Amino acid sequence: MGLKETLKQKIEEFRPRTTRLVKEFGKVKIDEVTIEQCIGGARDIRSLVTDISYLDPQEGIRFRGKTIPETFAALPKAPGSDYPTVESFWYFLLTGEVPTQAQVDEVLTEWKVRQEVPQYVFDTIRTLPRDSHPMAMLSVGITAMQRDSKFAALYNAGKFNKLSAWESVYEDACDIVARIPVIAAFIYNLKYKGDKQIAIDPALDMGANFAHMIDQGDAYKDVARMYFILHSDHESGNVSAHTTHLVHSALSDPYYAYAAGLNGLAGPLHGRANQEVLDWTIKFQEKYCKDQEPTKELITRALWDTLNSGQVIPGYGHAVLRKTDPRYISQREFCQKHLPEDPLFKLVSMIFEVAPGVLTEHGKTKNPWPNVDAQSGVIQWHYGVKEWDFYTVLFGVGRALGCMANITWDRGLGYAIERPKSVTTPMLEEWAAKG
Ligand code: AMX
């Protein structure tokens, strides 16, 4: 059975569970809301459902019930590689099942057809000023491609059906995940390589082809596979996943929805933190280490300078996590294996030794530990992808996997338009007075 048929069976088997919960247990309370949460970004309020991944504050992310090491161990690997193909991970995210090699091969073949990006998308991106941020370029590219949405076409033809609409969301989702690395590589070459474009190699899996298209060697193939998988999903309350879900809940098609998600990912408190980390680290070297090697004392001074100027330490802290992010650890282990002597890796490791203590002493953040973004730029830098304003685009390629798997299931289970209720400040004051 192919991926779509498997998914169809899974969605149809799952649907009665959701229907029963709403019909029979709809009034059961699972949370209550405080004034602090209402003003403070809805933090921790249980009000979203996803089965694609779950984020435990202590343990970190589980994709479909599996930790990062379990996920990497379970999925079929790319030939000669330590890492699974992105295609096998896509199958797993969508269905919750570890695919056989034959099932992975089917996705690989399908993506070869889907990955052809229409020329007008490239033409549209080319009209932007070259100094536009690459995230703006990516967002424009995805929005431009909305013209091709199969979900929008179905809706426009008056054929929207609540039970089967997910099938055209799935079609768009697959097109987006297959095409987005090609668009990202195009942007990279356009912005930083004098528009010297490299054609798709149809023999390669998604990660390997991305490496090829940005003119990287074999070693980077696993970097791309690992990077896209690690950045894919972090349950559905984070800004990019939540925005994508929210926008799609209005039945905006997956292109509109993911462009919106990317626009959220572009924020410095979210996906752009990986760019900020490199920026911070390079500026630290320039300012504090002109005539000397970095030391813990110098790092401590620089961290306090940043905090005292009212800025955050990028790559540290998290809205949900209360421990070192396992995505950080996974990338750190990659560095320890493949680039242990890299000076930037050594510096980032030294920051890891110092920053949690400084942030604890500073006393504001609930989580002084590093998140995914503290480690990801180092790897890119090591392999020569030094244009750090591009790093969030890499995040965006990976995040497409989670966001697209999520909205395919959203539609499959017929989730409603999202519409939380607002209150006014006088109302809060009135409730506050009553205690
Ligand atoms: N440096 C300095 N101060 C920090 C901090 C950091 N890394 N992390 C949190 N704080 C501060 C907050 O700004 C807040 O200060 P305030 O009371 O003056 O407003 C206080 O600590 C409490 O914040 P919190 O409850 O611990 O965090 P949060 O849930 O409000 O925010 C996050 C989470 C990630 C936005 C925050 O930790 C942060 O700004 N980190 C740096 C940016 C970053 O790395 N973002 C990437 C996160 C992962 C991702 O999405 N890719």
Q: pLDDT tens, 142-170?
A: 999 999 999 999 999 999 999 999 999 99
Q: Is residue 79 assigned to a domain?
A: no
* Averaged pLDDT, 57-74: 98
Is the dihedral angle over the CA atoms 107, 53, 229, 59 positive or is it negative? negative
Q: Is residue 312 part of a domain?
A: yes
Residue to mutate (ligand 1; options 235, 325, 364, 373; most atoms within 8 A of CB):
364
| Number of helices (H), then strands (E), in the chain | 20, 2
| Model pLDDT for residues 89-132, shown as the tens digit of each residue | 999 999 999 999 999 999 999 999 999 999 999 999 999 999 99
Q: Is the CB of 273 under 6 A from ligand 1?
A: yes
| Ligand 1: centre distance to CA 412 (Å) | 34
Question: From ligand 1's centre to the CA of 75, what distance in Å?
Answer: 33
Which of the four pLDDT bands, split at 50, 70 and 90, describes residue 335?
A: very high
Render 1-62 in DSSP notation, one character per residue: --HHHHHHHHHHHHHHHHHHHHHHHTT-------HHHHHTTTTT------SSEEEETTTEEE
CA of 42 to the centre of ligand 1 (A): 15
Name the closest-CA residue to atom 36, ligand 1: 317
Structural domains in the chain (count)? 1
Burial of 98 (0-12, 13-18, 19+ CB in 10 A): middle
- Tell me if 118 is assigned to some domain: no
In a domain, 157, yes or no: no
Going by alpha carbons, the residue nearest to atom 12 of ligand 1 is 365
pTM higher than the cut 0.95: yes
Give me ligand 1 centre to Cα 57, in Å.
15
150 lines ligand 1 (CB under 6 A): no
Q: Determine whether the shortest distance from the Cβ of 271 to ligand 1 is under 6 A.
A: yes
Return the pLDDT at 130.
97
Residue 34 maps to a domain: no
Residue 31: its pLDDT value, please? 97
Q: Is residue 237 part of a domain?
A: no
**Residue 331's CATH number:** 1.10.230.10
Residue 223 covered by a domain:
no
Return the active site residues: 270, 318, 373
Q: What is the extent of the structural domain holding 296?
A: 273-382
Q: Ligand 1 atom closest to Cα of 277?
A: 44
305 within domain boundaries: yes
